[in-house]
Structure formats: structure tokens, C-alpha cells
Amino acid sequence: MLDYISEIRQRPVWQPADAATEGRFQTRLPRNATSLGEAYATFQQHILPFAVGNAHPGFMGWVHGGGNVVGMLAEMLAAGLNSNLGGRDHIPIAVEQQVVRWIAELFGFPHDASGLFVTGSSMANFIAVLVARTRALGAETRRSGMRGQEKSLVAYASTGTHGCVAKALDMSGLGSESLHAIGVNDQFCIDIDALQAAIADDRAAGKRPFCVVGNAGTVDTGAIDDLNALADLCQRERLWFHVDGACGALGMMSERLRPRYAGIERADSLALDFHKWAQVPYDAGFVLVRDRRLHQETFASPAAYLSRAERGMAAGSPWPCDYGPDLSRNFKALKVWFTLQVYGTQRLGQMMEGTCELARCLERRIAAEPELELLAPVSLNIVCFRYRGHPAASMWHDAPRRTELRSTELNSTELNPLNSELVIALQESGIAAPSSTLINGQIAIRAALFNHRTTQHEVDALCDAALKFGRKIKLLGIRP
Ligand SMILES: Cc1ncc(COP(=O)(O)O)c(C=O)c1O
């Protein structure tokens, strides 16, 4: 794998697997043993070349970190120990707790804030919603569910919020419709006045506002909400203030970026991912909660077979299983601990600044190319743009500007817009792999520069290929 990483620039970012390769992974349960060498050869020849490619510097799709070799080695150590971090008295839990305190320190949370490693921010946001529900309705809801609740709870977040927040409300039993989506301003940040008005309207309609979710980097554009304004509002309205910092919050490691997050230290809870901007290998999501007691009340479930002791292996209560749904848990903390120890927050912060600087380079290049158009302000390290052809020419067949277009429509084949086709062409070329999204109803090429290996070379290659393929698709109406 060290060779793979050191030679990765010679590979395509991604390539589709052929039918024969797919077929290898549809065979039946093996009854007889194969040698380790043979299984490893299959890995080398038929799995490794067909990974999605996020370790590659040309990968710019969705929100994927590139990983780092220190974290990779730590994963091997963790697998060798084979620790279960649900509970019991052992030093791996002390390592996790040390990282919890480091993260509380980074974000200006109290020293005794609670934290938990989880798969990703989808789970971290879900846990935060459940703790917020406990604050609103009491721990009794864990037994009674929503029976007897006269007023329906409402949470608020901007329209730019990741879909996992609505899903968290769905899974919490409150229903995804209990998320009131609030419009954004021209910087794609939540409109605070609209939020204030929505809360007043909902209260007047007999509903019960309970939680506001702010974004420290939205998924589409990397916009950071005015977190101090949200904290003020939540204080006034006595609402839980949660921040989804999945893709952006760890920018707090950078001296230069830190002022952008002012107010994050006032959140009641925070979701973030080490596997994104901090380059820790998947998966390494994390939730931080200001009020440890409330967090514990939301999840602790006594059972005789998990009883605690003053001494022996069952000492050390409370255990991590008292803070989340998982009982069996792997040692994710170790790869984060190693990454933080070996690189330090200063260097990691500088790496993040570097990705923001690359995003600015891409923005400048787009501004200099009349055939390209920037579709959203560049807040951090995400750039949304489109190929529009020569502005003077009128014959181009992208999708019409439709503000009501929903993201689910992106998959529609009848739509077949130029920029969707262009993103697929870029991915299939192996040169650069952005993803697509909708910005104000227009299909955007979305380059999310989360990989520490990405350089100016890959950003230029993306632009050159976007221009080349854009011209071909537009003129010939065919795939390049
Ligand atoms: C802003 C935001 N929130 C939440 C998530 C979900 O995080 P995860 O994929 O780690 O579950 C993402 C993923 O990209 C995201 O960008």
C-alpha cells in the first residue's frame, strides 16, 4: 500500500470495472480454503485498481479525504490489538478520551465535555438530535416515545444543510418534516431574520421549536453560517444549538481560518469528520456534546451483563457505550491520535489552508476563461462552476434554469444536461474526478479540494479537461 500511495499519480483517478471483474465478486460462499497469496493476488489485480480513487490527487468529488500513511499504519496496529471500545477498563479508552479532551480544547468547549467516535457525521448528527430531544422532552421519551406529546417539535437549518440532518429527525421518530428549512443569503449562509420569523410563526401555530442546526461548511459550497448570530438566537429562544461541522469544522486547526468559525465554541453539540479534511483513513466521525450528563442520559442503558465494578476489568464507568448506540466499537481513536501526534494541528491547519488557496486558484482560472462560469462564492475549499460555452453563442443545450429543480432529478436521463454529461466525461477520463450538484437550479461541476495530495497541476488538468470536453459535448452533442 505504501507503493500504491507513492505511485498513485501514475494511475487514473478512477476507472470502471469490466464485466469479468464484476463477475469475480458474484461467486458463491467459499467452502474450501484458498491460500493467502491467492486472495492477496485477487486484491492486487481486481480490487485495488477499481477503488473510487479518493487517495488520488485528482479526486475532487463529494467530500472525501485522501487518507494518510500514518493513519494507515495505526489502523494495522488497532486491528492487531483488536480492541473493543464499547467499555471496560483499558488504555485504548484512555486514548479515545484524550482525543475527546483535545477536540474540546480545539473548539473551546468545557474540559468535561463528552465526545464519541462514530462512523461519520451522519451518525454524529443523529446522536446530537437525540440529545437535543432529551433536553426538550426529558429522558422519559426514551421509554414512552412521542406518545402524549401535545406539541410537535421543530428543528431549523438552512436549505444548504446535508440531507443526513433530515434523516436524523426521521430516525429519531420526530419525522423529517419536523425540519424547517430556512433560506440562505447570497453567501449561501442561513438567513437569520428568516429563521427568527419562522420560529415565531411556528410558535404561533402551536409547535415547539427545540433545535437549530448551523453549518460550519455546507456540503455544496462550504458556506459557514454566522455561528455567533445563531448562538445568540438559540440563547434568546432557549433552543439547542447544534453545529454540523462534517466538512469544515476542523479548519479550526488553522490560525488563518479560525476567525471564520467564531461562535462555534458556544454550540451545545458539534458533529465533525476526521476522515474528510483531516485526512484520517475512513471512518472517523465524531460528536462532541457540551453537557456530558444529558448525553449520558440519552444513551446509558443498564444491563446485568454490562454491570460495572470499582476494580477489575469492569471498572472505569461511564463507558463509551453510555454515550451512543454502539456497544461493540473499534479503536478509531488510534489513527486520529497518531495523525494528531505525528503531524500536529499546526501542520494539519496549514495543509487545510493550502487546499483553500488551491480553490482560489481554481476560482481565478474560471474567471479568466469566458467559457466557464463560477456558480457560487468560494468560502473554503469547494468550487462550483459550469461550462457555458462562448457567452456570445446561443446554441447550447444545458438544462434550463429552473429553481424548483430538486437534487433527486439529477439522475434523470431525459434531462441529460451538458454539465452532467461533462462531469461523467471527466470521471471516465481518469484525469480529474469532480462530482455534480445543483446551485440555484443550475447543474454545477463541483470540485471539493479535500485531498492533501492535490496540487496546482490537478487543478489545471481539471480546467483544461473541462474546456476540452465541454467544447466537444456542446458542438457535437456526443461524449468525448
Ligand atoms: C456538511 C455535511 N454534513 C454531513 C455529512 C455526512 O457525513 P458522513 O458522510 O461522514 O456521514 C457530510 C458528508 O459529506 C457533509 O458534507
Domains annotated on the chain, with CATH: 1-26+35-66+345-480 (3.90.1150.170), 84-329 (3.40.640.10)
What whole-number distance in Å separates Cα of residue 41 and Cα of residue 21? 13
**What tens-digit pLDDT sequence spans the chain (480 residues)?**
999 999 999 999 999 999 999 999 999 999 999 999 999 999 999 999 999 999 999 999 999 999 999 999 999 999 999 999 999 999 999 999 999 999 999 999 999 999 999 999 999 999 999 999 999 999 999 999 988 888 999 999 999 999 999 999 999 999 999 999 999 999 999 999 999 999 999 999 999 999 999 999 999 999 999 999 999 999 999 999 999 999 999 999 999 999 999 999 999 999 999 999 999 999 999 999 999 999 999 999 999 999 999 999 999 999 999 999 999 999 999 999 999 999 999 999 999 999 999 999 999 999 999 999 999 999 999 999 999 998 765 444 444 443 333 443 334 333 459 999 999 999 999 999 999 999 999 999 999 999 999 999 999 999 999 999 999 998 876 555
The Å distance, Cα 230 to ligand 1 centre, comes to 20
Identify the DSSP state of 224.
Answer: B
The Å distance, Cα 161 to ligand 1 centre, comes to 10
Q: Does the CB atom of residue 141 touch ligand 1 within 6 A?
A: no
**CB–CB of 269/275 below 8 Å?**
no
Q: Does the CB atom of residue 122 touch ligand 1 within 6 A?
A: yes
Closest ligand 1 atom to 218 CA: 1
Q: Does the CB atom of residue 244 touch ligand 1 within 6 A?
A: yes
Q: Does the CB atom of residue 87 touch ligand 1 within 6 A?
A: no
**Best CA proximity match to 214, nearest among 187, 189, 239:** 189
What whole-number distance in Å separates Cα of residue 211 and Cα of residue 234? 8
Q: Does the CB atom of residue 155 touch ligand 1 within 6 A?
A: no
The Å distance, Cα 335 to ligand 1 centre, comes to 20
> What's the longest Cα–Cα distance across the chain?
78
Cell numbers representing residue 385 in the block: 462552476
Q: Does the CB atom of residue 459 touch ligand 1 within 6 A?
A: no
What whole-number distance in Å separates Cα of residue 222 and Cα of residue 90? 39
Closest ligand 1 atom to 123 CA: 11
The Å distance, Cα 123 to ligand 1 centre, comes to 9
Identify the DSSP state of 98.
Answer: H
Mutation pick for ligand 1 pocket among 62, 122, 261 (CB with most ligand atoms within 8 Å): 122
The Å distance, Cα 399 to ligand 1 centre, comes to 27
Closest ligand 1 atom to 245 CA: 1
